[in-house]
Structure 1
Amino acid sequence: MATRSFVRSSDSPGKHPDSVRLLPWSNGDGNPCYLLGDGTGYVSRVADEIESLQLEMADDLTGHADDLLGCQRVSNRELRFLARGLTDSLRDVRRVADSRGARLCAAERSSGCVDGREA
């Protein structure tokens, strides 16, 4: 059974959270972690920094993959290592996209917009 971890933001006590945010890390069992809060607290800022770092690392790895795949003398070990890195990076980028997409949908719902149109 999957266990989800929740972190409640204490930066705005008494205020109902606007959304639940998928965080860019997992708990010790590899299950997703979520943040309940208004998106302005310390944990949100740390999550933003980690997401930015993950996207930057994905860019760097993509550049490395381009270089490595352009070489004629690449070993199977190097290709497997590259594939592992790309797989991990793709998983991170997918999590960032899912998290940001969910927050965009929540923002649209709270503003009364549906698919970019007024409801």
Structure 2
Amino acid sequence: MDESPLRLLPWNSPEGRPCYLSTDHPDSRLSSLADEVEAELLSCGEAVLSGAEAVLADAAAGEGAVRFALTWTTESLRDVLRVAHCREGRTSGKL
């Protein structure tokens, strides 16, 4: 008997551990929620990138603005990499 494939979800448990979904149904309610969260993380990443580019293009931007932009860019990069790892596991069949 084959086991259901595990899907890495784009969030962690309250203890900070990765969460996985075991399902044979990619259209399940939880799978759909994970897809929505992934899409939102990518959309936020695009908005943060646009804001960071604007700060970098502004010669008058001070250290505070640059640090703020870099902080959010770092957070967004972490989220986008998480989405990439989630999707890589689904396309390769590995986690």
Normalization by structure 2: what TM-score?
0.87
Residue 88 (1) aligns with residue 75 (2): yes
Instruction: In structure 2, list runs of 5 or more residues that go unmatched.
Output: none
Point out 4+ residue stretches in structure 1 off by more than 4 angstroms: none
Please tell me the residue identity of whatever aligns with 2:55. L
Report how many aligned residue pairs link the two structures. 92
Distance 1:86 1:67 in 2: 12
In the alignment, what sits opposite 1:47?
34
Please tell me the residue identity of whatever aligns with 1:97. A
Normalized per residue, which structure has more helix? Answer: 2
3-state SS, counterpart of residue 48 of structure 1: helix
Q: Higher Cα Rg: structure 1 or 2?
A: 1
In the alignment, what sits opposite 2:17?
31
Normalized per residue, which structure has more strand? Answer: 1
More contact order relative to length (CA 8 Å, sep ≥ 6): 2
3-state SS, counterpart of residue 15 of structure 2: coil
Alignment of 1:1-119 (within 5 A): 16-17=3-4, 19-38=5-24, 39-106=26-93
Distance 1:61 1:43 in 2: 27
Please tell me the residue identity of whatever aligns with 1:95. R
Distance 1:40 1:16 in 2: 18
Normalization by structure 1: what TM-score?
0.71
Alpha-carbon displacement from aligned partner over 1:12-68 (angstroms, at most 9, x marks no partner)? xxx941x11111111112221111112221110000000001111111111111111
Instruction: In structure 1, list runs of 5 or more residues that go unmatched.
Output: 1-14, 108-119
